[in-house]
Amino acid sequence: MLDTVARGRFSLRYEDVSQDGVVRLDTLTTSLGVVWRGSLLGHPLVDACRREAILPILTELEIAGEEGPFAVEGDLHVAGRADLAHVPAPGGGVARLLLDIATDLEGELGRTNLPPPERAGERARAGRVFARHVFTRPFAPAGERRVLALPDTGGALPDVPPERAEWEEPEAFGGVPEGAREIAAPEGDAASVVFGYLHTDSNQHVNSLVYPRLFEEALLRRLASAGLAVGRHASALRIGFRKPSFVGDRVTIKVGVYDVGGRTVGVGGFYGDDGRMRVAVRLTLR
């Protein structure tokens, strides 16, 4: 199976690191590319999927970041792997085929344009990322998009990966956490979002990283409107993608704020004109 550990590194940009040396959560997802290039691009599965117009579409993303601090001049070091699994159907057989990618990131402690911190130059954990993808035929007619067996890889892989995985519907990620205390009631953000080409990628829909950026901005507005401090870092993200958005779509962001074990957590999602949630988000602040 896909059991190779991929290792690599990437350089930081100025916009990737906050004024106090914390790396942005969405920057940590660059580590997924290290696994794609190191473990997947040369694998027969990729060519087989391209022949049959099958793509692994992101359906769940979890990110956790650390405080650092880290300097822009330093690289982030990545170790990660990709795994295949299937979700069993309730009555037997296969409901979904999954590609999971998990990465760990480290960097050298430091600061940009400021005195160095204690332990400067020492390697420290910068964060981790988990990305779950569902194999699908996104450009096929409705009703023909689900993939229940991997394409022919010439014997490199079985039709169905033997590893079994539990499935959680993406909408659940926007639910109120157990034991949460409400700080600010859920409400729609005053600024609706209209998507354009700047939000899209080559999969022909809005890129997955657009949503956490917009949600964090809406959460800051919700905190400000409730008279709460906005000088906070996002430390963890869990986001589920139920339905894609496209150029010209208009969505509303709904945000509620909660205390969960002493941490401030924004919970909500993106809603289309039909009132249904497209993307569910849970964002934890440090």
CATH number at residue 52: 3.10.129.10
Closest CA to 279 of 238, 224, 239: 239
Residues 123 and 198 placed together within one structural domain of the fold: no
Q: Which of 92, 121, 136 is the last residue of a domain?
A: 136
Cα separation, 78 vs 107, whole angstroms: 9
Residue 110 included in any domain = yes
CA angle 27, 103, 157 (to 5 degrees): 125
Tens digit of each residue's pLDDT, the chain (286 residues): 676 789 999 999 999 999 999 999 999 999 999 999 998 988 999 999 999 999 999 999 999 999 999 999 999 999 999 999 999 999 889 999 999 999 999 999 999 988 888 898 899 999 999 999 999 998 889 888 999 999 999 999 999 999 999 999 988 888 888 889 999 998 888 778 999 999 999 888 999 999 999 999 999 999 999 898 898 899 999 999 999 999 999 999 999 999 999 999 999 999 999 999 999 999 999 8
Residues 207 and 129 placed together within one structural domain of the fold: no
Residues 127 and 201 placed together within one structural domain of the fold: no
Other CB atoms within a 10 A radius of the CB of residue 282 amount to: 24
Residues 112 and 183 placed together within one structural domain of the fold: no
Residues 129 and 183 placed together within one structural domain of the fold: no
Residues 60 and 104 placed together within one structural domain of the fold: yes
Give me the pLDDT at residue 1, please: 60
Residue 132 included in any domain = yes
Enumerate residues 6+ apart whose C-beta is below 8 A from 178: none
Residue 281 included in any domain = yes
Burial label for 273, CB within 10 Å (0-12, 13-18, 19+), is exposed
Q: Measured between alpha carbons, how far is residue 40 from residues 19, 27, 76, 169, 235 in Å? A: 35, 21, 21, 26, 29
14 — phi, psi (to 5°)?
A: -55, -40
Give me the pLDDT at residue 81, please: 95
Q: In 84-121, which positions are buried (b, 16+ CB within 10 angstroms) versus exposed (e)?
A: bbbeeeeeeebebbbbbbbbbbbbbbbbeeeeebeeee
Residues 19 and 130 placed together within one structural domain of the fold: yes
Residues 195 and 130 placed together within one structural domain of the fold: no
Residue 163 included in any domain = no
Give me the pLDDT at residue 2, please: 72
Whether the CB-CB separation of 279 and 230 falls below 8 Å is answered with no
Q: Which of 91, 119, 136 is the last residue of a domain?
A: 136
Residues 121 and 71 placed together within one structural domain of the fold: yes
Residues 28 and 87 placed together within one structural domain of the fold: yes
Residue 23 included in any domain = yes
What is the extent of the structural domain holding 251? 170-285
Give me the pLDDT at residue 86, please: 97
The string of DSSP letters for 70-103 reads B-TTSEEEEEEEEEEEEEEPTTSSEEEEEEEEEE
Residues 123 and 16 placed together within one structural domain of the fold: yes
Residues 132 and 190 placed together within one structural domain of the fold: no
Give me the pLDDT at residue 270, please: 96
**What is the model's pTM?**
0.93
Residue 157 included in any domain = no
Beta bridge pairs of residue 23: 17
Q: Report the SS3 class of residue 220.
A: helix
Enumerate residues 6+ apart whose C-beta is below 8 A from 256: 176, 182, 184, 185, 186, 187, 222, 266, 267, 268
Q: Measured between alpha carbons, how far is residue 223 from residues 22, 183, 257 in Å? A: 21, 9, 8
36 — phi, psi (to 5°)?
A: -60, -45
In the chain, how many domains are there?
Answer: 2
Amino acid sitting at position 134: V
Residue 152 included in any domain = no
**Both tokens assigned to 231:** 């000088």
Beta bridge pairs of residue 133: 58, 99
Q: Which of 110, 136, 162 is the last residue of a domain?
A: 136
Beta bridge pairs of residue 100: 83, 132
Residue 149 included in any domain = no
